[in-house]
């Protein structure tokens, strides 16, 4: 009987030694299926900065509203002129340092036109660049932007709260 028990133990030991492990160990950390973001009642800040400018010369008014979204400038521009044609349209462009280069797409006299406009930001104001223009079709642009003189319209910074209210001729 002793031999039988000893033989059974040897067989069981041999069988357990031959058993191969099929378990695998994952060394990568578990990635959660979702992330919980805590609730906050604080408003999310916009990446767009809006600024508005206006110049009144006699009975003529020039108004510009600019939105700066990480270097891309968009907005609206309006020339409200007394006794001559006015225009209203959209501006789009870029800013490089203190110089803003815009394309003004506007309606005037029943037609749509494009005009290149440069402004210099100085002391919180916008000063329009003046220079020789070229025209191709309905597009007007500066012949040599490097030779612009910033001595055109000087627009003062104003509050953007009431776009139309700030536009009235005073």
- HSE of 80, CA atoms in CB hemisphere, 13 A: 16
Return per-residue pLDDT of the chain as tens, 170 residues.
555 454 544 554 444 444 454 555 555 555 555 555 445 555 444 457 889 999 999 999 899 999 998 889 999 999 888 888 888 899 999 999 999 999 999 988 888 999 999 999 999 999 999 999 999 988 899 999 999 999 999 999 998 887 656 444 34
Question: Is residue 141 domain-resident?
Answer: yes
Question: Is residue 26 domain-resident?
Answer: no
Prediction pTM value: 0.66
Question: Is residue 120 domain-resident?
Answer: yes
Question: Is residue 137 domain-resident?
Answer: yes
Q: How many domains does the chain have?
A: 1
Assigned token pair, 23: 């378990």
Question: Is residue 84 domain-resident?
Answer: yes
Question: Is residue 3 domain-resident?
Answer: no
User: Range of 82's domain?
Assistant: 48-162
What's CA 32's distance to the chain center, in Å? 33
Per-residue pLDDT reduced to its tens digit, 91-111: 999 999 999 999 999 988 888
């Amino acid at each position: 009987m002793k031999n039988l028990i000893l033989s059974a133990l040897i067989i069981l030991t041999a069988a357990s030694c031959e058993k191969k492990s099929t378990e695998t160990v994952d060394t990568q950390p578990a990635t959660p299926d979702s992330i919980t973001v805590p609730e906050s009642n604080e408003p999310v800040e916009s990446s767009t900065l809006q600024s508005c400018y206006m110049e009144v010369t006699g009975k003529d008014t020039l108004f510009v509203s600019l939105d700066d979204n990480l270097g891309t400038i968009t907005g609206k521009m309006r020339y409200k002129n007394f006794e001559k044609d006015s225009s209203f349209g959209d501006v789009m462009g870029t800013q490089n340092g203190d110089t803003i280069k815009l394309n003004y797409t506007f309606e005037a006299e029943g037609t749509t036109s494009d005009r290149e406009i440069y402004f210099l930001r100085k002391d919180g104001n916008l000063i329009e660049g003046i220079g020789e223009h070229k025209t191709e079709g309905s597009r007007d642009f500066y012949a040599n932007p490097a030779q612009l003189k910033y001595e055109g319209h000087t627009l003062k910074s104003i509050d953007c709260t009431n776009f139309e209210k700030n536009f009235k001729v005073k």
